[in-house]
Amino acid sequence: MSAADPMLPTLFVVRRVQRETPDVVSLELVAAEGETNFRFLPGQFNMLTVFGHGEVPMSITGDGARPDVLVHTTRAVGAVSEAICRLKTGDVVGIRGPYGTAWPIEEARGQDVVVVAGGMGLAPLRGALLAIQANRSKYGRFFLVYGARSPADLLYRRQLHQWRGRFDMGVHVTVDHAQTDWIGHVGLVTRLLPRLSFAPSDTVALVCGPEVMMRYAAMDLEKRGVDPGRIYLSMERNMKCGVGLCGHCQLGPHFICKDGPVFTARAMRPLMTVREL
Amino acid sequence: MSEHLRQAERGILARSDFDALLAELTARGYRIIGPVVRDAAIGYHDISCARDLPVGWSDEQQGGRYRLQPRDDASVFGFTVGANSLKPFLLPSQVSLWQAERQDRGWKILNRQAKTARPLAFVGVRACDLAAVAIHDRVLRDGTHADPTYCARRDGSFVVAVNCAQAASTCFCTSMGTGPRAVAGFDLALTELLDPDRHVFVVEAGSDAGRDVLAALPSAAATAADIDAAVAVSARAAAQVGRKLNTEGLPALLAASAEHPSWNEVALRCLSCGNCAQVCPTCFCTTATDCADLSGGFVERTRRWDSCFSVEYAHIHGGSVRPSTRARYRQWLTHKMGTWLAQFGSSGCVGCGRCITWCPVGIDLTAQARILQGATAKEGDHGNA
Amino acid sequence: METLERVLSEQAFMHGLRPEHVSILVGCATNVRFDAGEQLFAEGDEARQFFMIRQGHVLLETHVPGRGGVTVQTVGAGEILGWSWLVPPYEWRISARATELTRAIALDGTCLRHKCEADHDLGYEILKRFAHIINERLDAARMQLLDLYAKSAPARKGR
C-alpha cells in the first residue's frame, strides 16, 4: 500500500474481533473502500492508527496467501494497544504499510526449520508457519517450540491443536507458570530444543519473543551448531514513522523499520549485548 | 580552488548594490531568509533589504557561551554561525501531517490543502550549513521514502552562500571537510572583500538558476586579483580554525567504545536538555502526536522535532531502552560521528560547532572523541575553548 | 531383553566414565516405572535416589497456600532428576509426580555417596556431571524468574 505521502494512513474497517486471551485480541481488517488486496510478507509490520489515540507499529499476523483480509494480533500494554483491544466490528482504523523485512521463507527451502516463539512472539511468526506448511514438501524437518507465560496466555489455541495433529511437523509447547492441572511442559522454551532432531548444519531458525529470550535462544541454537547467520530474530524498538525518517527505531547502525525487523543473530549479537544501546 | 573559481561564472557586486540581489530574488517570488540580529544573537529570519543584515556585527563563541561583538568595520557577514541553521525552514519544528473527522462509525481524512507557499531563498549560508543541507537531502529526500514536507520546501529553494572570513573558536569545519569555502550546493556564493577604499562581493554562480540571477544584477567583471583575494579570505578563515578532530577510524572506534569509562564523565555533566540536537543542522529526528478535540470527532496528527536525549524517545512497552543520560549522550555522539556513515555514506557532523556553543555546560564532542582516541581528560579539554 | 547395564551405558550421563565406575553405578541402579499420577517423591522425604528419565513426563510441584499446587518445572525423557541426595540434609525440597507412564533408572544415592567418599575420582566425575545439570537448571530458572512474557517491567528510574 504505497501512497504519495507515506505519512497518510489508508482506512480499514474491523470485520471481526477475536479474543485470544484476556489481554490479547486479533483483529480482522478489510479495506474501508473497494476490494481488500493487502499483499505482505510474513515478518513485515504496519503502522496502525486508532483515531484519537495514536499510532503504533503492529506485526502483520495473518496468512500471506490471504490478501483479502488483514490480521493484527495485539496485546494491551499501553494507551494505543489498549484502545486497539477495545475496538468493535465496524470501527475504522488507519493503516500505513507493509514495511520492513520478512522471514526468510524462500531462503529456508531445502533445510530443516526450527521456529522458536516466546509469549507474543508467536504472532509475527504465524504467517511464516502457514507459508512453510503451504509448501511443506520444499522443506526438511519442521518444528515449532512455543513458550507462554501460563496456559491462559497461549495464543491461537485452535491452530496449535491443528498443528500438533499434523504428522509432518513437531509442535512443543511450554509455559513458565502453571497450576498442577497443566500436564504439559513447564520451563524455559529453550529447554525444549534438545528434544528436536534437526540437523544443525542444515537448519534455519526463526526466533521471536522478548529480546532477552531471543538472545538466549540464539545462544542455545548456536551451541547446538546452528550458524548464527541462519538464525533469524525479529527486533523491536520505538517507532514513530515506520519509514526511516523519524530516527526512533535505530539500533546501532540499523533502522529496525527498514533494515529489519527481521535480522540474523550474527548481525544482532554484538548489539544485543551492549547495555542500553 | 582558484581554478574552480576561474571556470565558474563570476562577477563583482558592489556593496551599494547588495539590495539589487534581494530585490531580484523578491521579484522572482522568493521569501528571503537571511541572518538577522535578534534576541542577542545572529540567526536566520525573514529579511527584505540589506539593512536587515548584521552589518558591523561579529560573534564570540566558546563552549557554553555566545556573545555578539560589535566590529570596528562595516562588514556585512563578519560573523560565523548563529543558533539556527536552515533546518527550521526546510524541516519545520512543527508540521500538521493530517487531520481526520469522524463520520458515523468511521473517519474521513481531510484533504490537505497544498499550501502554495512562496519558495525560499536563503542568503548568507555558510559552507558547513550547505553540507548539512546536502546531508538532509540524503536522509529525507533520497531514501526509500521521502519526506513530502522537506521535499516541497527544498525543491525550488535558492541558496546564496557566503564564504566565511573568520572562524569561531568552536568551528572545526576543516576537520570535517565541509569548509570554510563553499564548493557545491549553492546557486550563488559570495565572498566579501572589505578594504578601506573598496567594499565588494565576489559572486560565483553554482547553477543555472544562479547564473540567471547573476546576469540580472549590476555586476562588474571579476579580475584575477579579485579571485585571488576571495581565495585568500577562505585561507585566512581556515587558518583561524583552532579546533581539530581526527575523523580517521572514528566510526569503528565509536562502535568499539560502548563501555568506555569516559561516557560516565560526560554523563555527570550532561543535562540531557537536547540543546545540541536542536541547534545541530543535521539532527533530523521527529515524533508524531495525535490530538483530538473535546468532542473526539476531530483528530490531528502533528509532527514535531524530537531528539534521542528525551527519555521517551526509546520507549518500548516496559520502559525506555536508554534510561540513563550516559546511554543517551553516547547514542547521540555515536550516531552523529559513527553509525551515520554506514547509514548515509558520510559523517553526520559538519563541524559547525553549534553544539559546543549552545550546550549549557559547554560539552565539546570533539573533546569526547579525543578522549576515546586516547587523550587524557586534560588533553581532551572539556568545557574550554 | 535389554540388560540394565546396556541401558544405563547408553545414557548421556555415563559417557566418558571409566569401566570400573560404570560398574559401580550399575551396581546402584534399578529399573523403575511410575504410572500416570503416581508420585516419585514428596517434599520433605529423605532423598535416597536420583533418576534418569528414559520415557515419560514428571512434574515438580509445590503447594502454595492460596494458590494451590504450582508446577515449577517439568522433566522429561533424557533428563536427570534429583540432586538432593548429594547435599545435606539429603531431603527432597520439592515433590515430583508422573503425568504419564514414566520409565526411569533409579540410582541409589545413599550407596553412591559412600562410594564417592571412598573413591574421589568417582566422586569428581559424578560432581562434574551434576554441576553441569544444576548449572543448566539454574540458568533456566533465572530466565523463568525474569517473567519475560509479563506485561511490563517494574518502573525504572532514569537519570
CB contact under 8 A, A183 and C99: yes
CB contact under 8 A, C159 and B320: no
238-277 in chain A: CB under 8 A from chain B: 238, 240-241, 243-248, 250, 252-253, 255, 258, 274-277
Place of cell 511442559: A185
CB contact under 8 A, A240 and B306: yes
* Residue A106 cell numbers, joined: 524462500
Distance from CA of A210 to the nearest CA of B (A): 11
CB contact under 8 A, A237 and B327: no
CATH architecture assigned to A112-272: 3-Layer(aba) Sandwich (3.40)
Distance from C-alpha of A194 to C-alpha of A161, rounded to nearest angstrom: 22
CB contact under 8 A, A176 and C144: yes
Please state, rounded to an integer, the average pLDDT across all residues of chain A: 95
Put simply, whether C62 touches A (Cβ < 8 Å) is no
Least confident of A99-108, A119-128, B114-123, B197-206: B114-123
Q: Which fold has domain A10-99?
A: Elongation Factor Tu (Ef-tu); domain 3 (2.40.30)
Distance from CA of B279 to the nearest CA of A (A): 17
Which other chains touch chain C, taking contact as 3+ CB pairs less than 8 Å apart? A, B
Q: Which amino acid is at A273?
A: T
CA B265 from chain center: how many Å?
Answer: 28
Fold matches, A10-99 and A112-272: no
CB contact under 8 A, A246 and B286: yes
Distance from CA of B293 to the nearest CA of A (A): 9
CB contact under 8 A, C76 and A75: no
Confidence of residue C156 (pLDDT cuts 50, 70, 90): very low
Distance from CA of A198 to the nearest CA of B (A): 34
- Res C69: pLDDT: 81
List the alpha helices (DSSP H) in chain A: 79-85, 122-134, 157-165, 211-224, 265-272
- Tell me which chain B residue has its CA closest to the CA of residue C152: B318
Which of B317, B323, B326 minimises the CB distance to C156?
Answer: B323
Which of C153, C157, C158 minimises the CB distance to B318?
Answer: C153
CB < 8 Å to B325, chain C: 158-159
- Tell me which chain C residue has its CA closest to the CA of residue B323: C158
Q: What is each CA distance from A36 to A32, A63, B30, C18, in whole angstroms?
A: 8, 14, 45, 69
Which of C70, C144, C149 minimises the CB distance to A179?
Answer: C70
How many other CB atoms are found less than 10 A from the CB of residue A134?
12
- Res A229: pLDDT: 98
Distance from CA of A148 to the nearest CA of C (A): 7
- Res B376: pLDDT: 63
Given a cut of 70, whether residue C154 has pLDDT beyond it is: no
CB contact under 8 A, C149 and A210: yes
Q: Nearest-CA neighbor of C60 among A180, A276, A201, B99? A: A180
Domain boundaries along the sequence of chain A: 10-99, 112-272
DSSP state of B268: H
Which of A237, A247, A277 minimises the CB distance to B258?
Answer: A277
Confidence of residue C2 (pLDDT cuts 50, 70, 90): low
Given a cut of 80, whether residue A77 has pLDDT beyond it is: yes
Put simply, whether A220 touches C (Cβ < 8 Å) is no
**Contact at 8 Å (CB) between B364 and B356?**
yes
Put simply, whether A225 touches C (Cβ < 8 Å) is no
List the alpha helices (DSSP H) in chain B: 2-7, 18-27, 87-90, 127-136, 148-154, 173-176, 208-215, 224-240, 250-256, 262-269, 275-279, 325-334, 340-344, 354-358, 365-372, 377-380
- Tell me which chain B residue has its CA closest to the CA of residue A100: B144
Confidence of residue A259 (pLDDT cuts 50, 70, 90): very high
Three-state helix/strand/coil letters over B153-171:
HHCCCEEEEECCCCCCCCC
The sign of the dihedral angle between the CA atoms of B226, B232, B234, B240 is negative
- Tell me which chain C residue has its CA closest to the CA of residue B271: C159
- Tell me which chain A residue has its CA closest to the CA of residue C98: A183
CB < 8 Å to A190, chain C: 140, 143
**Contact at 8 Å (CB) between B108 and B100?**
yes
Spell out the per-residue pLDDT of chain B, length 385, in tens.
455 554 459 999 999 999 999 999 999 999 999 999 999 999 999 999 999 999 999 999 999 999 999 999 999 999 999 989 999 999 999 999 999 999 988 999 997 666 778 999 999 999 999 999 999 999 999 999 999 999 999 999 999 999 999 999 999 999 999 999 999 999 999 999 999 999 999 999 999 999 999 999 999 999 999 999 999 999 999 999 999 999 999 999 999 999 999 999 999 999 999 999 999 999 999 999 999 998 889 999 999 999 999 999 999 877 889 999 999 999 999 999 999 999 999 999 999 999 999 999 999 999 999 999 997 655 555 544 3
* Residue B165 cell numbers, joined: 572570513
Mean pLDDT of A57-80: 96
CB < 8 Å to A91, chain B: 105
CB contact under 8 A, A246 and B322: no
Q: Tens digits of per-residue pLDDT, C46-58? A: 999 999 999 999 9
CB contact under 8 A, B319 and C159: no
* Residue A34 cell numbers, joined: 473497494
Distance from C-alpha of A239 to C-alpha of A54, rounded to nearest angstrom: 12
Beta-strand runs (E) in chain C? 29-34, 39-41, 49-55, 57-64, 68-76, 80-81, 95-98, 102-108
Distance from C-alpha of C18 to C-alpha of B87, rounded to nearest angstrom: 75
Q: Tens digits of per-residue pLDDT, C34-47? A: 999 999 999 889 99
Mean pLDDT of C96-110: 95
C90: helix, strand or coil: coil
11-40 in chain A: CB under 8 A from chain C: 23
Which of B109, B292, B339 minimises the CB distance to A8?
Answer: B109
Query: Above pLDDT 90, what percent of chain A?
Result: 90
Confidence of residue C155 (pLDDT cuts 50, 70, 90): very low
Q: Nearest-CA neighbor of C57 among A101, A192, B296, B239? A: A192
Which of B146, B147, B321 minimises the CB distance to A276?
Answer: B321
Q: Tens digits of per-residue pLDDT, C89-98? A: 899 989 999 9
CB < 8 Å to A244, chain B: 143-145
The sign of the dihedral angle between the CA atoms of B138, B142, B148, B152 is positive
Domain boundaries along the sequence of chain B: 2-93+114-240, 250-372
CB contact under 8 A, C151 and B311: no
Residue A208 sits at the vertex; the CA angle it makes with A214 and A132, to the nearest 5 degrees, is 135
Place of cell 542500553: A276
Q: Tens digits of per-residue pLDDT, A178-228? A: 988 898 999 989 889 988 999 999 999 999 999 989 998 999 999 999 999
DSSP state of A64: T
From its phi and psi, is residue B125 left (phi > 0), alpha (psi between -120 and 50) or beta?
beta
CB contact under 8 A, A179 and C78: no
Given a cut of 50, whether residue C157 has pLDDT beyond it is: no
CB contact under 8 A, C149 and A185: no
How many other CB atoms are found less than 10 A from the CB of residue A242?
28
Given a cut of 50, whether residue C121 has pLDDT beyond it is: yes
Confidence of residue A56 (pLDDT cuts 50, 70, 90): very high
CB contact under 8 A, B323 and C155: no
How many other CB atoms are found less than 10 A from the CB of residue B276?
24
Put simply, whether C74 touches A (Cβ < 8 Å) is yes
CB contact under 8 A, B314 and A237: yes
CB contact under 8 A, B303 and A7: yes
CB contact under 8 A, A120 and C149: yes
Q: What is each CA distance from B357 to A86, B275, B370, C3, in whole angstroms?
A: 49, 10, 18, 83
Strands A70-75 and B315-316: unpaired
DSSP state of C106: E
Put simply, whether C59 touches A (Cβ < 8 Å) is yes
